Amino acid sequence: MSRIKTIILVHGFWADASCYREVIPRLHSTGYQVMAVQNPLTSLEDDIAATQRVLDRLNQPCILVGHSWGGFVITEVGLDPRVVGLVYLAGLAPDIDESMLDLMSRYGQPSPHFQEEAGLIWISPQGIREVLAQDLSDQQQALLYATQTPPAAAITTAKAKQPAWHHKPSWYLVTQADQAMPPPLQAELAQRMKAQTMMVSSGHFPMLSHPMTVVNIIAAAVLNS
């Protein structure tokens, strides 16, 4: 039996912790304790602090899981000694002094469906349908739009300082039909980290479209950390 019983889930842009709603019950049913961080998405430092607060409630080893921007967060938090493995779901995995913008600009320009207002970045209904969630139902798309948490625009230029993937084992789920996080960038990051890699024919939210695949890669991290 693995000594790891706790999974911490970290969400990305325009979402909140409820984006893991299809994954959490499945993890519970297999005996894991699960905690889902509510990122404020106001700054990298604030998101790091939110995840650190959850970690500080633990006295046992855990796996950190980061989706999209959440990958950036777990990259910075993952040096905590309680973290024994990192799982990236279409996640950003920067190296030292790299920002989200540095990584994403290698593969094109931001979508016109992203709308900056008063220092926050919103996404349009069309952006939900075409960029984030083209493989989800109309109802799921509407829920994502209605509950979106707009990130601060300044987050996109924040630089990584202490990439944990240099020191901790990592796993990466490449979402091959992703219109938000380019699959070639995902594959590049996974290869650079020497991450154990899985592929899924999914858009940007595999935890909603393919929850068992997400559970399986987390289980692989638990068994091999």
Strand order of the β-sheet with 6-10 is 33-37, 6-10, 62-67, 83-89, 170-175, 196-200
* Structure tokens, 133: 């969630």
Output the pLDDT for position 2: 63
Q: What digits encode the pLDDT tens for the residues 127-157?
A: 999 999 999 999 999 999 999 999 999 999 9
pLDDT at position 83 over 80: yes
CB 10 within 8 A of CB 70: yes
CB 51 within 8 A of CB 75: no
Question: Which residue is it, tokens 């509510």?
Answer: 38
d(CA 133, CA 179): 9
The mean per-residue pLDDT over the stretch 106-133 comes to: 90
CATH of domain 6-112+149-224: 3.40.50.1820
* Structure tokens, 185: 């960038």
pLDDT at position 109 over 80: no
pTM exceeding 0.75: yes
